[in-house]
Amino acid sequence: MPENIEPANSSINWKLLLRRMERQKAVLFLGPEVPMAIGENPRPITEVLQEHIRRDLQDLLEEYDLHKIEYYNEDGFFHLEDEYRSDIVYPVIQFYRGLEVGELYRKLVQLPFHLILSLSPDELVCRAFEEQGLPYHFHFYNKRKYNKEQDDALLHFRPSPDNRLVYNVFGSVRDEGSLILSYDDLFEFLQKIFNNYHLPEAVRETVMDANYFLFIGFNYTKWYLKLLLRLFNLHEKVKQVYGTESPDRPETEIFFVNEFDMKFTRLHSQAFIEELYEKCREEGLLVQPPTLPRLDPQLAAELRRLIGQNEIERAFDLLLGKDGERTLPQPFGDQLVQLSARYHTLQRNHAKGILDYKDYSLELNRITDDLLKSLTEFS
């Protein structure tokens, strides 16, 4: 595919973008403003979250002194004292988990980006991958604790078109301690990330090797976004940086142009994704679901029996071997390794008394559900 330059009046060189995606040189940054198909008109997730907070959490907010809990719409963070954190965390998590995967996300995961960095704690991208039957790895940054098992799982992993990586920079709803809900959370995150609490090597090296960065679904007035672009060294002039939807304020656009040589497509996120999807389809670049391996029916039945008897560890041993020596066809094998790591981390934390019974049970149920989904997918 030649890297022809399009006419000067074009806001984006589509051929160049497709070429970089094909060569695994393009990285997608996904923001919290990506529109969701909620009701008749697509709307940004953050806008719907604000309504949820005003409507469903208003009684809770009014119950406390405003100096204890307050929500700032402009930046999307709470002023939140630790003793009241759990009162806010669970309703917010339930909100994100209740979001439906829209057609826009289904199209997005078929675009050949080998690394997707999300600044939203939801797992809509992951669920879209699963719905489409596309293999992927998912990891997230945890500002509160270093997850050795998670980083070790990425030690020798490099994203590829056949096995892509989704990385939630701002934590995940599956671990409430990782969420960045308050200004204190954000400052803690920035302090660690700019000091010695580095991103996984697979993320760092993939970003360093890329030379094209696309930002979709961002509000460029957020002050911390400028710091994050510096974190990923996107101020280097050898990199091409594009953003959908121009900033509302001219001075904001001037800043991003001057500091990061950032170009804006003038298209809304939804229109851009749909346009890029069509161009990838025309060039045969859309990622298609692989032919999935199938488990032996007798093995699948035995695994379901073990899971039904709550013998999760025996189920993992049967699949992977007691020392992890058994090799399974991909992507089933990678999914099982990740689930096994989650399970054994959970058991260790429970044995140390780090988790109370409620949190332990919730995570165990999630792991069991994910294991059953994998069995269903590959049976």
> In 10 A of CB 298, how many CB atoms?
8
Gyration radius of the chain over CA positions: 21
> In 10 A of CB 358, how many CB atoms?
8
Q: What is the CATH number of domain 14-38+97-282?
A: 3.40.50.1220
How is 155-199 classified by DSSP, letter by letter?
A: TT---BTTBEEEEETT--TT-GGG---BHHHHHHHHHHHTTT-PP
The whole-angstrom separation of Cα 64 and Cα 66 is: 6
- In this structure, are strands 69-72 and 77-80 parallel, antiparallel, or unpaired? antiparallel
How is 255-279 classified by DSSP, letter by letter?
A: HHHHHH-EEE--S-HHHHHHHHHHH
CB-based contact 71:62 (threshold 8 Å): no
Tokens of 244: 């959908």
How are the residues of the chain apportioned to helix, strand and coil, as percentages rounded to the nearest 5?
Answer: 50, 10, 40
CB-based contact 125:109 (threshold 8 Å): yes
The whole-angstrom separation of Cα 185 and Cα 169 is: 13
Domain ranges of the chain: 14-38+97-282, 297-378
pLDDT digits (tens, 9 = 90+) for 281-322: 999 999 987 666 677 788 888 888 998 898 999 988 888 775
Closest residue by Cα to residue 347 from 334, 359, 360: 360
> Is the N-terminal amide bond of 331 cis, ω within 30° of 0?
yes
Q: Which residues in the chain come in under a pLDDT of 50?
A: 1-10, 38-39
Amino acid 98: pLDDT: 86
Q: Can you say how many angstroms the Cα of residue 170 is from the centroid of all Cα atoms in its chain? A: 9
pLDDT digits (tens, 9 = 90+) for 101-110: 888 999 999 9
The whole-angstrom separation of Cα 284 and Cα 11 is: 23
Q: What does DSSP assign to residue 119?
A: S
Amino acid 326: pLDDT: 56
